Amino acid sequence: MTQQKPSKKDFVDLINSLMGQKIMTEDQLTKFLNDAKKVKETKGTEGFLEFVQKTTNAPASKDQLERLADEIKRSGNPVNAIDFLIKEKLLTDQQARKINQAIEHTKKKKRKN
């Protein structure tokens, strides 16, 4: 049995759930991903990281974003990324718990389908 990856809808639902209100739609996520891909292709990783910082108002430095990307590539595990964000004080323990709960909810939902 192959594991299904979360859909864009799952990811949008996760973001909206974490924010406590509807702040993103699937169309907005698609546009963001397409724009991010174009920036990566034309300006490389450095340009991509600047794009992420600018569009998300991420409170992370480019160095932190680079290390986060490296951690995700190295481990392939979102839990490790969350641990990294806690260690860098970019997420609180409470925020991390909410994210983990939303991820588990999505996994359960996928298993039912």
**Domain range list for the chain:** 25-58, 61-113
CB 69 within 8 A of CB 88: no
Q: Quick: pLDDT tens for 14-62.
A: 787 777 788 889 999 999 999 999 999 999 988 888 888 888 777 788 8
Q: Compute the half-sphere exposure of residue 24: CA atoms within 13 Å on the CB side of its CA.
A: 22
Residue spans of alpha helices (H) in 1-113: 8-19, 26-56, 62-75, 78-87, 93-112
pTM of this structure: 0.64
